[in-house]
C-alpha cells in the first residue's frame, strides 16, 4: 500500500457505493488519505478511489476484504503503522421471517454487520493507542434501536453494534479514543432497492422530514463526529428525519 506517513489516515469498510462511498468522499474532502474496502466490487471501488485521488489530491488505496473474514482484515492491517479514523460501514440486510432463516444466513448477517466491527477495531486500537488519539465510528440502524419485524437478525446485529459502541467507548475513553455510532433511518441507497416504489412511498410518508436521507448526510455527520470534542463518546446518533 502506498500510504503517506504524515497525512491523517482513515479506513472505511464497504466503500464501493452508497453510504460508505459518501463517507469516503467527505473524508477525502477533509484531506484524509484513505483505505477503502469492499467484498466483491473491486473495479467499482478502484474507480471511486481514482476519482477521489484526482479530485482531492489524497492517496486512496482500494482493497478487496470481506469484512466478515478476520484473516482478510488482518492482511490489510499487516501493512499499516498508523490509523486515525476507522469507519465500520460494511453491512448487509436480510428481510424475511425469522423461522425461514437458516443458521448460515443468521451467521452471515451477524458476522458481516457485528463481528466485522470487532475484527477491525481490535487491530485499529493498538495503532490509535500509539498516538493517544483516534476515532471509531460504527454505522448502525434505527432497527438496532427499536427492532423491526421481518428483520430480526439485522436488528439484533445493529443492536449489537450499538452496545459494542457504548462498551468500547468506556474502555477507550481513558486513552482519548472516541467511539460513536450513527444510527441511520432510511437512506437512499441500493440497500433499499428490494422495495417497490409504492413501498418506498409508504415509508417516506411515515418520515416527518417527508424524504429519504441522503448518503452525503451520513458522510457529513461522520466528519462532524471526527471534529467533535473527544469528550463526545459512546453516543448513538440517530439520523432519520425524526422517524423513530
Which residue number, 148 or 173, has a Cβ lying nearer to ligand NAD? 148
Give catalytic status of residue 119 as yes or no. Answer: no
Report in angstroms how near the CB of residue 2 gets to ligand NAD at its nearest: 21
- Return the closest-CA partner of residue 188 out of 116, 117, 110, 240: 240
Report in angstroms how near the CB of residue 60 gets to ligand NAD at its nearest: 15
91 and 143 Cβ atoms separated by less than 8 Å? no
How far apart (Å, rounded) are the C-alpha atoms in residues 85 and 137? 8
Residues that bind ligand NAD (CB under 6 A): 13-20, 37-39, 41, 66-68, 89-92, 112, 139, 141, 184, 186-187, 189-192
- Return the closest-CA partner of residue 85 out of 38, 141, 23, 39: 23
Report in angstroms how near the CB of residue 180 gets to ligand NAD at its nearest: 15
Within a 13 Å sphere around the CA of 185, how many CA atoms are in the beta-carbon half? Answer: 20
* Sheet with 236-239: strands ordered across: 60-64, 33-38, 9-12, 85-88, 134-141, 177-184, 236-239
Report in angstroms how near the CB of residue 161 gets to ligand NAD at its nearest: 8
Which residue number, 78 or 132, has a Cβ lying nearer to ligand NAD? 78
69 and 118 Cβ atoms separated by less than 8 Å? no
- Return the closest-CA partner of residue 188 out of 123, 239, 146: 239
Report in angstroms how near the CB of residue 54 gets to ligand NAD at its nearest: 20
How far apart (Å, rounded) are the C-alpha atoms in residues 187 and 181? 15
Active-site residue identified among 32, 56, 119, 154: 154
Which residue number, 4 or 47, has a Cβ lying nearer to ligand NAD? 47
Which residue number, 130 or 210, has a Cβ lying nearer to ligand NAD? 210
Q: Residue-wise over 13-47: b if at least 16 C-beta within 10 A, else e?
A: bbbbbbbbbbbbbbbbebebbbbbbbbebeeebbe
Which residue number, 19 or 135, has a Cβ lying nearer to ligand NAD? 19
Active site residues: 154
Amino acid at each position: 500500500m502506498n500510504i503517506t506517513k504524515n497525512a491523517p489516515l482513515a479506513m472505511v469498510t464497504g466503500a464501493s457505493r452508497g453510504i460508505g462511498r459518501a463517507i469516503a468522499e467527505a473524508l477525502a474532502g477533509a484531506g484524509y488519505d484513505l483505505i477503502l474496502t469492499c467484498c466483491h466490487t473491486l473495479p467499482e471501488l478502484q474507480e471511486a478511489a481514482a476519482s477521489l485521488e484526482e479530485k482531492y489530491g489524497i492517496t486512496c488505496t482500494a482493497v478487496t476484504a470481506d469484512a466478515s473474514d478476520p484473516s482478510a482484515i488482518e492482511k490489510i492491517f499487516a501493512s499499516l503503522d498508523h490509523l486515525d479514523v476507522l469507519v465500520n460501514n460494511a453491512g448487509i440486510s436480510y428481510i424475511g421471517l425469522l423461522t425461514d432463516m437458516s443458521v448460515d444466513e443468521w451467521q452471515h448477517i451477524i458476522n458481516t454487520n457485528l463481528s466485522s466491527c470487532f475484527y477491525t477495531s481490535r487491530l485499529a486500537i493498538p495503532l490509535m493507542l500509539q498516538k493517544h488519539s483516534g476515532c471509531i465510528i460504527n454505522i448502525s440502524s434505527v432497527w438496532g434501536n427499536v427492532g423491526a419485524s421481518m428483520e430480526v437478525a439485522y436488528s439484533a446485529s445493529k443492536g449489537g453494534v450499538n452496545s459494542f459502541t457504548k462498551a468500547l467507548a468506556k474502555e477507550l475513553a481513558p486513552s482519548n479514543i472516541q467511539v460513536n455510532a450513527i444510527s441511520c433511518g432510511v437512506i437512499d441507497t441500493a440497500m433499499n432497492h428490494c422495495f417497490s416504489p409504492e413501498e418506498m412511498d409508504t415509508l417516506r410518508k411515515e418520515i416527518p422530514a417527508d424524504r429519504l436521507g441522503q448518503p452525503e448526510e451520513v458522510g457529513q455527520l461522520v466528519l462532524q463526529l471526527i471534529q467533535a470534542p473527544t469528550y463526545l463518546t459512546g453516543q448513538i446518533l440517530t439520523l432519520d428525519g425524526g422517524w423513530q
